[in-house]
Every structure is written in structure tokens, then in C-alpha cells.
Structure 1
Amino acid sequence: MRKGFPAAALMLLGAGVVMAQSPYESAADFAKYARKLREQALLKVEPQVFVPTASRTNTATHYPWRANVVTTVFWVGEQAGGNNPVPNYKSCWDANWTSNYGGFDTPDTSSRRNYIPASFTPRQNPFYCALPYNDVTHGQFKPEAPLVIPWFRTAYTEPGRSVCKDRWLAIRKGGRVCYAQWEDCGPFRTDHFQYVFQNERPKPNLNHGAGLDVSPAVRDYLGLGPTDVT
């Protein structure tokens, strides 16, 4: 779990997204998989206020952009240190995250090829992110979860099974958009639904008020720095 990001914007796009596990066995297979899911994003991040146009879906008017959200980088298997007091060998929703992912998702660019570690092919989507809200605590949904999560009813499967895990976000930097899955909670907080689903700004924190964590694959695709504005 990451407890710590520059400025960005978030927008909820819809609630009826069908989630799927990535079946890819190689970077090429994942690219094909990702293209099929490009339109399934629920949240968008970009550096300026979004102005809806006729070519956009109507959902844009219901979930306006949040501008200037600070974005930082985190990764599966990250050790605690510096402004990250919590190690990321597990996530809020997966106690065996590193093992299930397939290993340490090194952020070292010299040890990466085609958006994944050069040493292995991940068993999960390398394009992942974290937002500072967890809908589950102590095996049960938080009281506000059914009220504030737009897709709660359509995504609900059983008590205490997160409806936020694996949801898709679109993250924009300049002219590029990267689609990533919500796989952990942070930076720093797991309770800020007023920011994730409503109109509040991210709370002050050690990383300049960061409100989004992204994986090395997202960083590389968008050309982000360690702390950036998406």
C-alpha cells in the first residue's frame, strides 16, 4: 500500500463496466487485450479541465474532470522507505500481490523491456494504479460505499468483495492516454471517498498532495517523472 503524488484530473465515465482478468502471456498478447478494453475506463486523469464535446459520451457531463492532481510512481514489491512508509509486497486487496503478479515489478528503466520487467512476463496487468480509497474494511463494505460508488449495485457480487479493485482508469499526459486498473489504495490514505467520487481535492501529504499512484508501465508509456502532473 502506498501512503503518498504532482497534479492531475479525475473523471468518472460510467458504471456498467465488465471486468476481466488479463489472459496475456506476452507483451504482444497484452497489447491486443488492452486495445479491447480501451473504452472501459471509469476514471480519467489529465492536466487540465475537460470540456465535453459532441464526440464524447454523455457520461462526461455526469462525472467532470478533476484538474491538477499530483501523480507519483509505485510498484509491486516496492520496499518501504523515504516518503513511502508502507511496503508494496501486498496490496489492500491482495495479501500475495507480488507472488500473484509474478515477481518484483522493477522501476529501473534499464531492466525493463516493452513496459514490463525484462526478467519475467507478469501474470497480471502491468498497467495498474492506486487511488486513496478502499471500499472494504475488516472484511466488510464501509458504510458509505453503496452510497458513493456509482457502479456499486452493478458490480456487487458478495459481502466484502471489493467493487473498486480492477476498475479501469484513463490517465492522460499531453496527447497520450494510458488505461490502467485500480489495484491498490493510496497514496497515503484509504478513506478519501470525497476526493475519489466527489469534489474534494487530495489531502496534503509528504508527496506534495499526491492523489494518484501509477505503475512503471504507466510511467513509461506516458513519459512521466517520479512526481508529475498527468
Structure 2
Amino acid sequence: MADRILVLLILLTFPPQLGAMEGTAFALSKRSTQTHRDYLESRRELFSELSDPFQVASKAKVIEEEPEPWENKRSFWRRGILATIFWVGEQPTPRNPTPNDKSSWDPQWQENFGGIDRPESRNGFLPTGFVPKQTPFYIALPYNDLVPGGGHQPEASEVIPWFWKLHQGPTTSVCHGRWVAIHREGRICYARWRDCGPFSTDDWRYVFLGERPKPNPNGNAGIDISPAVRDYLQLDGNRRVDWKFVEDFEVPDGPWKNWTPTSQ
């Protein structure tokens, strides 16, 4: 009996505090409910394309087919590569004993180009006196995928990402005509791979794996560029550039695709 009387006295003595506790509990419950509603609303806004705020898509995503092997390897920039100037029809010199009337892949390069691409006599991006039959934007890299007499280098199918995509037999290069992008101080030029050099024709570790070019007598240069590439990049001599391979669909319209005697 004494215990019951004590409880009754406590209840009679502190009714305001119990009312406050009940009010606080109600307020907390109301605030929690509103917080939960606000969270759900934020999820709906964040995932507006989904059917509910719990990130469950209304339709399953379509999984694309696995890319072909040559599309799995991302192209990358070779940075700070010394570029030297060369041209179709260039005559041999003590430092460059190989004439450029032919290329590693085209024994009639000068004829097929349409003449000598003289670097000192220009009409816009073109040589003076004729309109080339091929793009005047071309480069050389120090690798030849073909071997004398026919066939490809033993490492070619392993290191050239697009080898099996373009393979057309043992006498056809998969490198000839490949597009590259060349960058210099915010300007990017596009050109085709037409010849092999400077100096080396077997430096696949540099060309495809990104190692530094093999040492050579011309400052370890790693790419030869045509007069048109030189002029587009506004180079005043041998300078360092960045370059990488690009797919055909990545090459934008420009003087490298559409050239006229007044191209600028």
C-alpha cells in the first residue's frame, strides 16, 4: 500500500514534466517523419530517371557487346617528342642519306604525291606550283611493320592494336596511312603516317608502347613532320610536340582532309 501511495504522490507532484516529455516525443517523431520525406524527395530529384527513390531502374540496362581487341587499348599521347621536318622529294644529305622520292611503303611516292613538296616555297599549306594528289599533312614514325621480301615483323600482330582489323595479307602494311594527331601549344594537327623514320625503322617499343625514342644523331628525334604540319603548328624549326594515334572517325574536317591552293 505504501508503494502505491508513493507512486500516486509522484504523479500528482510532477504532471507538467510528464506532459513536456510527451510533447517532446511527439515533436521528435514529427521531425523524423519530415526528415524521411525530405530525403525521399531528394532521391527522386537526384534519380529522376528512375521509378522510385531507392535506385531501382524501371528497365534493365542493355549491356553492349564486348569491344574488339583493337578497341580495348586506349590511345595515349607520346609527350615531348622532338619533331624534325622532312618532305616528299627531299634529296639525300650527309645527315640523311635516304632520298624521299620513295617511302618505305610506296616506291613511287613522289609521283603519286604529284611532285616535290618543297618546304621553302609554299602556297598556304601546299607547295607552290601544283595541287598534291594526296594530303600534304603527313608524318613518318620509326617503325616498319613489313620485312623485305614480304611478311610482317614478328612482333607486329602483338604490339599494333589494330593489326587484325586491317590485316590484308603479308605484303600490305597495316600502318601506312594511319591517322595521328600532333599537338603543340594548344594547336592540334592531323596527319597520315606515310613513311618510316627518323633514322630507325624498328623502334616499336617507342611507337606502340610509349617508351622514349632510340638515340639518334638528330637529338633523339621521334617523328618527322611535313611542311604543312609544320606550318599549321606554327613551328619555326625542330620543336618538341605530343602525338598519338587516332581513329578515322576522330579526325575532324580541316585542311588535312580538304586541301586547295588557298588553304590556310
TM-score by length of 1: 0.71
Greater relative contact order (CA < 8 Å, ≥ 6 in sequence) = 1
How far apart are the structure 1 equivalents of 2:112 and 2:237? 25
Q: Distance in 1 between matches of 2:179 and 2:76?
A: 16
Distance 1:75 1:15, change over 3 A: farther
Show the 5 A alignment for 1:133-212: 133-138=143-148, 139-212=150-223
* Counterparts of 1:63 and 1:124, CA distance in 2: 25
* 1:220 alignment counterpart: 231
Deviates most, 127-136 or 195-204: 195-204
The worse-fitting range, judged by mean Cα deviation, of 209-218 and 82-91 is 82-91
Match of 1:113 in 2: 123
Q: CA deviation at 1:199?
A: 3.1
**In structure 2, distance between residues paired with 1:184 and 1:225:** 22
Q: Quick one: which of 94, 98, 103 aligns to 1:91?
A: 103
2:91 aligned residue: 79
4+ residue runs of structure 1 moved beyond 4 angstroms? none
Q: Secondary structure of the equivalent of 1:98?
A: helix
Offset of residue 15 of structure 1? 4.6
- Write out per-residue CA displacement over residues 52-103 of structure 1, whole angstroms, 9 at most, x where no aligned residue: xxxxxx96xx333222111000000000114212111100000010001000
Matched positions, count: 172
Q: Secondary structure at the match of 1:219?
A: helix
Which residue number in structure 1 is paired with residue 65 of structure 2? none
Q: CA deviation at 1:204?
A: 1.2
Structure 1: distance between partners of 2:191 and 2:169: 24
Corresponding position of 1:65: 77
- Extract unaligned runs of 5+ from structure 1: 1-13, 17-57
2:213 and 2:186 mapped to 1: Cα distance?
A: 24
Larger Rg: 2
TM-score w.r.t. the length of structure 2 is 0.63
Q: Which amino acid aligns with 2:218?
A: N
Q: How does 1:12-23 map to 2 (within 5 A)?
A: 15=70
SS in 1 for 2:80: coil
Distance between the aligned counterparts of 1:199 and 1:83, measured in 2?
A: 26
For 1:98 and 1:194, locate their aligned partners in 2 and report how far apart those are by CA, in whole Å: 30
Structure with the largest fraction of helix? 2
